[in-house]
Amino acid sequence: MSERVDVLIIGGGLVGASLAIALQRIGRSACLLEATAGGALPAVFDQRNLSFAAATVNALTALGVMQKLSSAPGPITRIHVSRAGDFGRVQLAAADYGRPWFGQVVVARDFGMALEARLQELPQLQRRRPARFIGLGAVIDGYRQVHVQDDQGEHTLHARLVVGADGTASGLRGALGIGVDEHDFQQTLFVARVRSQRAPDGTAWERLTDTGPTALLPRGDRHFGVVHGVARDEADAVMALDDAAWLARLQAAVGWRAGRLLESGPRAAYPLRQVLSRALVAERAVLLGNAAQTIHPLGAQGFNLGLRDALTLAELLETEGDAGADALLHAYAARRGDDRAQTIAFSGGLARLTSNDAPLLRPLRSLGLLATQATSLQSLLVGGSMGFRGDVPKLCRGEAA
């Protein structure tokens, strides 16, 4: 296995694996550093329900990943948003915009298996697993030294460009000395699969409350993916609920829009924090996905934003030349600026506004919902939710690279 590559990707999760596939598509030599052993999926590929924006579906189809899903995704054909205690609501229909759907819902584990199946079709891709990043060395002759450890001991790899796709607590970001700005929403997000007396009809229901959002996402297996936000100090009590009490809590949060909730699969909990890297690039290094920005899940923008990070980088690397050149990295940071800023502002701002229980805000929120339903703001919301913000990568637009 070569010790020198164009691109070394630290992290084999959703964004890192997607970038590896995109780089192989354009002929760049790459090495994927993965923490899990062969035959095992990273912990991120669990029972969470991923809402893929239309731009994401376009790109993952072009990369040959959507075709590897073992079960059909659930199309989101309508979106219904309301807030407890406020009047007004937002209702969006894809057909009104000449689209068959706004996006599709995929189970994270199914997506992980599809990515793995696609990675196995790429014989030129180097994969080191299980292996972990332990530190950076000097830049010598245009290559960044990267120290890694696997079951054979410590090694030094050399890459023109090192990519940190290693999550919120990014080791690469720390090694580069890049700081972060953090905000703790004091919420915990529960996710599970639920079955209702009514099968999903393509509607994604989102109900906003003082303690966080609750959403029912239409899966492709006649179940809903549920997302339920609670105040942090309630999380242990909610986790301890038996299934009947858990379903009753969900029913009270979402009402009867999808009928009676009948059963739930296992639930998992995730504390909600926003962690924003203060820089996206450094000498021969770049941060993507959650290593660059971990955002509130309201609007389901996290992975979609991270994938656009990866595809923008891959698009810039299509042309021949030094993969870690300063000009390329500056171009990357510039291209990601608008999309990143708008998406962070949308998810974080909406989370703060909708969870604020101040009585004076209620009429303003209600007017905002009515205005969004009645004006051109709706088109802006649709475009953003479908992943068409800023300088959109070609594959997201459905164009061949």
Domain count, the chain: 1
pLDDT digits (tens, 9 = 90+) for 265-274: 999 898 888 9
pLDDT tens digits along 203-260: 998 887 777 788 899 999 999 999 899 999 999 999 999 999 999 999 999 888 889 9
pLDDT of residue 49: 86
Q: Is residue 263 part of a domain?
A: no
Decide if 246 is inside a domain: no
| Of 50, 31, 160, nearest in space to 103 by CA | 50
Within-domain flag for 387: yes
According to the model, what pLDDT value does residue 369 have?
A: 38
Cis peptide, bond prior to residue 363, ω within 30 of zero = no
C-alpha angle with apex 176: 174 to 178, nearest 5 degrees? Answer: 70
Q: 3-class SS at 130?
A: coil
Question: Stretch 139-143: mean pLDDT, rounded?
Answer: 96
Question: Which band of pLDDT confidence, cut at 50, 70 and 90, is reported for residue 178?
Answer: very high
**Can you tell me the distance from the alpha carbon of 318 to that of 28, in angstroms, rounded to the nearest whole number?**
8
198 exposed, middle or buried (CB, 10 Å; 0-12, 13-18, 19+)? Answer: middle
Pick the closest to residue 74 from 38, 43, 98, 110 (CA basis): 110
Interval 83-135: pLDDT, tens: 765 544 678 888 988 889 989 999 888 999 999 999 999 989 999 999 999 99
**How far apart are alpha carbons 119 and 112 in whole angstroms?**
10
Residues 20-39 have a mean pLDDT of: 91
At 396 the pLDDT is 93
Residue 81 lies in a domain: no
Q: Is residue 361 part of a domain?
A: yes
| Dihedral sign for Cα atoms in the order 74, 77, 83, 84 | negative
pLDDT at 46 over 90: no
User: β-pairing, 153-164 with 4-10?
Assistant: parallel
DSSP label of 151: T
CA 182 – CA 396 distance, rounded (Å): 29
The pLDDT value recorded for residue 378 is: 45
**Amino acid symbol at 346:** F
* Helix axes of 54-62 and 302-316: crossing angle, nearest 10 degrees: 50
| DSSP element (H, E) containing 218 | strand 212-218
243, part of any domain: no
Give the range of the structural domain holding residue 139, as residue numbers without chain letter. Answer: 1-68+106-180+277-394
Domain assignment present for 199:
no
Asked if residue 230 is part of any domain, the answer here is no
> Hey, what are 151's tokens?
């079951």
> At which residue do the structure tokens 């805000």 appear?
361
CATH number of the domain where residue 321 is located? 3.50.50.60
